[in-house]
Structure 1
Amino acid sequence: MTDDLRIRRGGPGDAGSVLRLFDVAIAWLTTRGRTGQWGTAPASTDPARIAQAQAWASGGDLHLALLDDDVVGALVVGTATDYVPPPIEPELYVNLLLTDRAHAGLGIGARLLAYAEELARDRGLGLLRVDCYAGDDRALVGFYERCGFTPTDRFTVTRPGRPPWPGQVLARRVG
């Protein structure tokens, strides 16, 4: 992990940074034949993804990781999405976690998750949950487990004209 990493709240002008991180991640996954998570098309060309990034950037719960002045990660927290089982207690939900693959291995994702835990603690919440793509080799599930999350519910999102999307909810107690 790098000590040079800082985290700041995002704002309406940061939607482009979120889309760039998506594009980098999608390209990286595509070169490895792992297209089940987000497909192959850049997020910056998808009207639905553009609208989502703009909503996150304007919603007040976007947080960006920076090295120098470069955005190298994004975190969005809030409430659980409709396709996962509802929480059994008050929680903070990780709606998005993205990191720049050019800085892989620096612990940016883990640091953003630690920051999400700080946000939950500051809000008096004892539970942090996240969901992720659980297809292929479940590598993303393994990442969250290494960050202290425990798998809970599995789910499948059906999408018209596209293959089903296998998902995994994971939870971590806020200490």
Structure 2
Amino acid sequence: MLILGMDGLLIRRASASDVPAVLQVFDEVVAWFVGMGNTHQWGTEPWSASPRRVAQVAEACALPGAWVVEEPAGRIRGALVLGDPMPYVPSATEPEVYVRLLIAARDPRVRGLGRRMMAFADDQARAAGVTRLRVDCYGGGTGDLVRFYESCGYERISTFDLAGWPGQLLGRCL
């Protein structure tokens, strides 16, 4: 376990037992999105109610590059999954760390958690001797998510369409 900041948040490897808690974070974020009118990014239904989404999170938490962030009391506040590129993006042209999943609670008490997890991804890349990272995200709506990754040092590489879902591929060199 590693401490992720002064607030006592810990980052540790994810496991199958974390799936319900990670789904709860997704459910909270989906409800927040719906409340602000963003119904296209992840839909309107809780992920925990979708067998497909439950399977996706279970698969993600089983990967060797899966991490969760928890409060000292044990509540999961975010998840980060690093690994191979997603099948719908172009293959890497050099060794890389690919951010497959990033989710952070919208609770103001953990504000900045997404940025801290992205910095952790940078640290993992450095530890692996890799200088390239890529991530893909929802490219629609207001563009706030793309701008978030740009604020973390990523640059736009290409756009894609996944069955009507607009995506943005971004990359970064350390």
TM-score, normalised with respect to structure 2: 0.92
* Count of residue correspondences: 169
For the residues of structure 2 that align with 1:67 and 1:151, how far apart are their CA atoms? 33
CA contact (8 A) 2:31 2:46 kept: yes
User: Are 2:126 and 1:124 equivalent residues in the alignment?
Assistant: no
Q: Which amino acid aligns with 2:44?
A: T
Q: Is the 8 A contact 2:99 2:134 kept in 1?
A: yes
Q: In structure 1, what residue type is equivalent to 2:171?
A: A
Q: Distance in 1 between matches of 2:108 and 2:99?
A: 21
Indicate conservation of the 8 Å contact 1:2/1:106, yes or no: no
Of stretches 75-84 and 51-60 in structure 1, the one that deviates more from structure 2 is 51-60
Paired residue secondary structure (2:107): helix
Report the secondary structure of 1:101's partner residue.
coil
Separation (CA, whole Å) in 2 of partners of 1:103 and 1:131: 25
Residue 16 of structure 1 aligns to which amino acid in structure 2? P
Cα distance in 1, alignment partners of residues 154 and 110 from structure 2: 19
Task: Classify the secondary structure of the residue corresponding to 1:144.
Answer: helix
Q: What stretches of structure 2 of length at least 5 have no aligned partner?
A: none
Percent identity over paired residues: 41
Q: Post-superposition shift, 1:67?
A: 2.4
Structure 1 residue 156 corresponds to structure 2 residue 161: yes
Match of 2:21 among 17, 21, 30: 17
Decide whether aligned partners of structure 1 residues 126 and 2 sit closer, same or farther in structure 2, where only a CA change above 3 A counts. Answer: closer
The answer to which structure, 1 or 2, has the higher relative contact order (CA under 8 A, 6+ apart) is: 1
The match for 1:45 among 26, 49, 57 is 49
Q: CA RMSD in A?
A: 1.5
Aligned to 1:161: none
Give me the whole-angstrom Cα distance separating, in 2, the residues matched to 1:84 and 1:96: 14
Which residue of structure 2 lines up, in the alignment, with residue 97 of structure 1?
Answer: 102
Of 63, 67, 87, the residue aligned with 2:67 is 63
